[in-house]
Structure 1
Amino acid sequence: MATESVAVVVVTYNRADLLERMLAGLTALETRPDAIYVVDNASTDHTSDVLDQATNFGLVSMRMPENLGGAGGFHAGMKAAYDAGFDRIWLMDDDVVPAPDCLTVLLGYDEACLLAARENLAGRLVEKSAVRFDLRNPLAVRPKTASVDSTYATRASMPPLVEIENIAFEGFLVRREVIAAIGLPDESFFIFYDDADFAIRARKAGFRIWAVRDAVLVRQLEFDQQHALDSWKGYYMYRNLFAVHFRYGENPLVRAKPYLIAAGVTLLSPLRGGRSEARNVLKAIRDARGMRATPSREPVQPT
């Protein structure tokens, strides 16, 4: 394991100051990665200046011609790192900072899929990855029925490794054998659930996924996406959640659940998200039907 090469893939869009802080965190790692691929999703702020001034060893800047979303960015960055032959690829968003020993701790485990456990700026465990992602029970409104931080009150109460069923592309370290087996992240998701989709495919291929207690990743922003269901983000949240149910629901009732959710949201829209959320969910259910099939896996180079 000590000889394995590691490439970091960071996706960023118009958050130059966060990116600068994140790159400083990578520079401070006691175990340095071999390369850092920064996928810039056509930012219009001073991201290019941050990248031009960055002193990180092995930094490769990938400027996208348009905003491909997180899913498209991770697809492009992972493909570049995989094609370059790296043994492990460490996925990062621009709003997290690893503890100095984070990569050292992760590389101490001989596992194909590992996740650094996130905490907030106050040091509170905020790892939202699912301990249970239920696509069997049609009565589970949300498939994530238990997360790391809902199961363990503190980081200290976690065992060293916690098996999880979905991931965030924040601190996820994956071996190239996984990519060879299941392919790249599905760029059609744009944002949200591309990481859950990747995790489901990995588990179906026989890989186990572990959250690592002592690998610390500090999230710079609070989680607030649940308040955006009437915005453009809400459309992607609903569409991609429905697509996951259509693709991986383990029985007909679960695969039919998106229709019930869409009907319920529409009926309740006068009391919560209004017409905007109703429009989002109706468009989402229509478009998710076109995402039922998992895209054909791209050819990858032999490992």
Structure 2
Amino acid sequence: MVEERGTSVSKPPHETVAVVVVTYNRADLLVGMLDGLATQTRRPDAVLVVDNASTDHTREVLDARTDLPLRVTHSEENLGGAGGFHLGLRLAHEAGFDRIWLMDDDVVPAPDCLERMLEHDGPCLMAVREDRRGHLVEKSAVVFDLRNPLAIRPKTDSVETRYRTRAAMPAEVPVQVVAFEGFLVHRRVVDAIGLPDPAYFIFYDDVDFAIRARRAGFPIAAVRDAVLVRQLDFDQQHALDTWKGFYMYRNLFVVHLRYGENAAVRLKPLLITLAVVLLSPLRGGKAEASNVIRAMKAARGMRELSPESRPGRAGESGERHFGP
């Protein structure tokens, strides 16, 4: 059993907070996200935006924001969400901020979201998401099972499924994995475990980071009263036969190969691959079968954390390869 060494954080008189936002070709959603940051009752000390080579009017949106302490990085290539958060968190850590709030471009924090989060001392805190109708849609895993080989999906329980409504939640809910949508992390967690792994490109980089944090003894809590409004519906589960499906399968397999707690769990990716191929005529067809076969092959080469993400490398840029 891992000793939880991070259940509280000794706060200085004024903890500095940097927000890291990763965006790609969603300028209109980005406007709402930045509006939400601008109205925070506890203003962030800096907002670091990683623009993943957007081709829409994202640059114009960012240039017009004089109401926020923006620090913008325009990447020359699309680093993916994983590469963007790796870069943004590295820059915020290098700048010396005490806490770093990771944010996607399609969420809007309630005006008191950051203030409510900072009332809690945990090293890893998660804002609780709802949709535009006010329904709880927090999918952070309460149970992420990497021990039972019969758990086809390791996320067997989430905040959303366990509580159904925000009112039914306690003030803090221990969670095992999170999304990089409203995740607030203390810099000493980065000191101990390193940075998000950019090799994921998209999907599961946040899961990987959360598993590493918990295994290093840092608990994670979802904060009931920290409200984050998601502007888009969750629909990635319908994309398994698209280019996104490759990353969803590959990265799920990587998590099992890296963190599976026994040989049977580490064998699951192969069994899933066989099942998907056999069932492909009834569901995703040749496209999904091709995705899962390529994913299985690629995952074998990602059993180890990328060198640039390991502890002590937060100040080093290194050579980066983010694509497939």
TM-score, normalised with respect to structure 2: 0.92
Q: For each residue in 1:92-123, what CA deviation from the matched residue of structure 2 results, as whole angstroms up to 9, or x when unmatched?
A: 00000000000000000111000000000000
The residue number in structure 2 matching 1:127 is 138
Query: Runs ≥4 in structure 1, deviation > 6 angstroms?
Result: none
Equivalent of 2:93 in 82, 85, 106: 82
1:35 equivalent among 31, 46, 57: 46
- Counterpart-to-counterpart distance in 2, 1:230 and 1:85: 42
Confirm whether residue 184 of structure 1 aligns to residue 195 of structure 2.
Answer: yes
Give deviations 1:32-65, integer Å, cap 9, x for gaps: 0000001000000000000010123310111011
Q: Distance in 2 between matches of 1:57 and 1:192?
A: 29
**What does residue range 23-102 of structure 1 map to in structure 2 within 5 Å?**
23-102=34-113
Give the partner amino acid of 1:79: R
CA contact (8 A) 1:23 1:56 kept: no
CA distance in 2, matches of 1:158, 1:75: 31
Q: How many residues align?
A: 301
Whether the aligned pair in 1 keeps the contact of 2:195 and 2:314 (CA below 8 Å) is: no
- In structure 1, the residue matched to 2:313 is 299
Which residue is equivalent to 1:114? 125
Q: Distance in 2 between matches of 1:97 and 1:169?
A: 13
Question: Which of residues 114, 139, 160 is equivalent to 1:103?
Answer: 114
- Mapped to 2, the partners of 1:299 and 1:103 lie a distance apart of 28
Q: Are residues 1:230 and 2:248 paired?
A: no
CA distance in 2, matches of 1:260, 1:96: 36
2:134 counterpart of 1:162: no
Report the Cα offset of residue 293 of structure 1. Answer: 1.2
| Distance across 2 between alignment mates of 1:269 and 1:228 | 14
Unaligned runs of 5+ in 2: 1-10, 316-324
Percent identity reads 66
Asked whether the 8 Å contact 1:30–1:104 carries over to 2, the reply is yes
Counterpart of 2:6 in structure 1 is none
Match of 1:208 among 208, 212, 219: 219
- For 1:31 and 1:267, locate their aligned partners in 2 and report how far apart those are by CA, in whole Å: 53
User: How far apart are the structure 1 equivalents of 2:123 and 2:195?
Assistant: 15
Q: 2: CA distance between counterparts of 1:12 and 1:155?
A: 28
Query: Considering only aligned residues, what root-mean-square deviation do their CA atoms show, in Å?
Result: 0.8
Is residue 2:270 matched to residue 1:256?
Answer: no
Q: Which residue of 2 aligns with 1:243?
A: 254
TM-score by length of 1: 0.98
Whether 1:219 aligns to 2:230 is: yes
Contact 2:139 2:158 in 1 (8 A): yes
Aligned to 1:283: 294
For 1:279, give the aligned amino acid: S
Residue 295 of structure 1 deviates from its aligned partner by 2.3
Write the distance in 1 (CA, Å) between the matches of 2:94 and 2:45.
14
Output one character per residue of 1:243-262: Cα deviation in whole Å (capped at 9) or x when no partner. Answer: 00000000000000000000
d(CA) in 2 for partners of 1:299, 1:279? 35
Structure 1: gaps spanning 5 or more residues:
none
